[in-house]
Structure 1
Amino acid sequence: MMLSLLFRQCKHSPKNALGQLRLFTTSQILLARRHQQPKIRVPSKKALAAKARRRAGIASKADEQTRKLTLLEAIAVLRAVEVASPNSIYELLVKTEIKNGVAVPKGRVNLPREAKPGAQEKILVFAEGRQAEEAKKAGAHIVGGPELIDGILSSRIRATTILCTTSLIRTITPKLGRFLGPLGLMPSERRGTVTDDIAGYIQRIHGTSEWRADRTGSIRAPIATMQFPIEDVVRNVRHFLTSVRRVTGNYKDADSDRKGKATGAPATKISKVMLSSRQGPGIRISDF
């Protein structure tokens, strides 16, 4: 009886109860570990560079396996496909690899033989005084000063080409920069549309058509019709590609070398050229 009583007292003693309580509690460190979120592993710059190289290698192998034809072979294939459609048009696609922060390629070209009538040009010029009179005589459709800004912002005044004199560019930039910039219409010294020789610029662009890349760097242009002799198609393609090379910095001559040294801008790579038609396939060109 005495032993049983002592056992019961020990069993229900506060000290033993505390020991049992400890079996069901967890320290703060264990609780913190239990609720700790798993760490997200951030790859290093070296790992990211290696991954980019692997992707580039895979893309390069896939590109090598793609079937390519010479320009003359591509023209022959498309002519055979479009034999019943003599008015069908060849379309040229030039893919450029533009990088972040680099303006999309844009230029003008005067093809030796136009594939189809181009859209009517509408030239707007920001100029005042004598320069405004010269612009009107040169054939500008709309000429004026800062009073034209509100009409442009409200889309009451529209133009395909906008030029500006050097004295007004700082006046119009704060209000028109964000509006005309995404449209590719904001006057720029780099593109030559900010100039005091307005008449000379208008004369230079007379009879030319504008080409412009989209946000992915792709340039599409109608280049010829099936009725054209093969020599004319080849001449148009070569002429257009020369214009693109000059703008992207891939054409080497005295003028482009001087401009490249002055601006320090790297060349924009031309990665792909394709020729297609309405019913024909897109054919990669090997000799561009």
Structure 2
Amino acid sequence: MSLGLLGRQCCRSALQPNSLLLRQFNTTSVLFARREKKIPTPTKKQLAAKARKKALKVRKHIYDAEKMPLQDAIAVLRAVEVARPNATLELTVKTAMPKGTTIPKGRLTWPREAKPRTEERVLVFAEGRLAEEAKRAGAHIVGGLELVDDIINGRHNPTTILCVPSLLRSITPKLGRLLGPKGLMPSERRGTVTEDIAGYIRRMQGSVEWKGDKDGTIRAAVAKITWPLEDITKNFRYFSGVVKKATGNARDPEAEAKGQGRQVNPLTRIVLSSSQGPAIQIADF
């Protein structure tokens, strides 16, 4: 009987473990919570230093350091094009396109034209007296806000669009995204927003337009290879000066007098080439 009692006690103790051995759960709040680290915002000075360091690490082309003075480059291209007397010299200016800048664009009158002019098709947003003046000056399409839908639907394909200041805010919401990437959106900085529509059209008749592509590369035929060296140099210097002013790499007194902000597109490479000749970087740009 004592053995049976002892067995029942052992069995009960095995089925019912000691409460002191059970795990105790603590419901108190956590004292040391994980803290999120705040990422510091870099300053403009730090961002500029990082950009310079990144630019130094970029692998450069083996010919990047090879440059020639303008006269030497012309002599080399003349030697290459000896069998093509009507070859054209083309100038390529590569510019950087920082965020927020627009495609470089402008107009100029060459000292001596190397290429026949293309026919301009001018569209003018104007009403009343200014519209009549634009028609008399030779504008191809003149009208008010009714022209907006025609441009969106592709009924008109102008090469230049002018606008009077009073209509600019009305056309910008619908045409800004369409004409902006094409470089056709009227802009005060480029002089295409003006009340002197007739004067602008008259100036256009003796000038040609130049503009870069979406990467900021500007190309222009500057001379014929058989021209005298003085004429080639004059055209080259004149075009380079116009591009420098338009890209913010040289002072533009006219823009400063109008109080217009300066857009800066740094020049990265200036190359002179011909139809069959090599592309030569110019040292004295």
Partner amino acid for 2:150? G
Structure 2 matches for 1:122-133, cutoff 5 A?
122-133=121-132
* TM-score of the two chains, using structure 2 as the length reference: 0.79
Deviations 1:141-171 (A, max 9, x none): 1111222222211111110001111222222
Provide the alpha-carbon RMSD of the alignment: 3.4
Partner amino acid for 1:265? R
For these two proteins, the number of residue pairs brought into alignment is: 266
Structure 1 segments unaligned to the other structure (5+ residues): 1-8, 16-41
The aligned residue for residue 249 of structure 1 is 248
The aligned residue for residue 270 of structure 1 is 267
Distance in 1 separating the partners of 2:42 and 2:198:
52
Is the deviation greater in 152-161 or in 174-183? 174-183
Q: 1:222, CA displacement in angstroms?
A: 1.2
Q: 1:271, CA displacement in angstroms?
A: 2.3
| C-alpha contact 1:249 1:256 (8 A) present in aligned 2 | no
* 1:44 to 1:255, Cα distance in 2 relative to 1, 3 A: closer
Distance in 1 separating the partners of 2:48 and 2:166:
47
- The structure with the greater share of residues assigned to helix is 1
Give SS of 1:125's match: strand
Q: 1:51, CA displacement in angstroms?
A: 4.7
The aligned residue for residue 29 of structure 2 is none
* 1:216 to 1:154, Cα distance in 2 relative to 1, 3 A: same
Distance in 1 separating the partners of 2:74 and 2:268:
20
Distance in 1 separating the partners of 2:186 and 2:112:
29
Deviations 1:77-119 (A, max 9, x none): 0011011011211110111222100112111111111111122
The aligned residue for residue 162 of structure 2 is 163
Structure 2 matches for 1:122-201, cutoff 5 A?
122-201=121-200
Partner amino acid for 2:102? A
* 1:181 to 1:13, Cα distance in 2 relative to 1, 3 A: same
The aligned residue for residue 236 of structure 2 is 237
Q: 1:52, CA displacement in angstroms?
A: 3.0
Give SS of 1:95's match: strand
Structure 2 segments unaligned to the other structure (5+ residues): 1-10, 18-38
Distance in 1 separating the partners of 2:71 and 2:176:
44
* 1:14 to 1:93, Cα distance in 2 relative to 1, 3 A: farther
Distance in 2 separating the partners of 1:106 and 1:86:
31
Percent identical: 54
Q: 1:55, CA displacement in angstroms?
A: 3.1
* 1:68 to 1:59, Cα distance in 2 relative to 1, 3 A: farther
Distance in 2 separating the partners of 1:253 and 1:60:
35
The aligned residue for residue 79 of structure 1 is 78
The aligned residue for residue 208 of structure 1 is 207
* 1:13 to 1:277, Cα distance in 2 relative to 1, 3 A: farther
Distance in 2 separating the partners of 1:135 and 1:148:
15
* 1:256 to 1:66, Cα distance in 2 relative to 1, 3 A: same
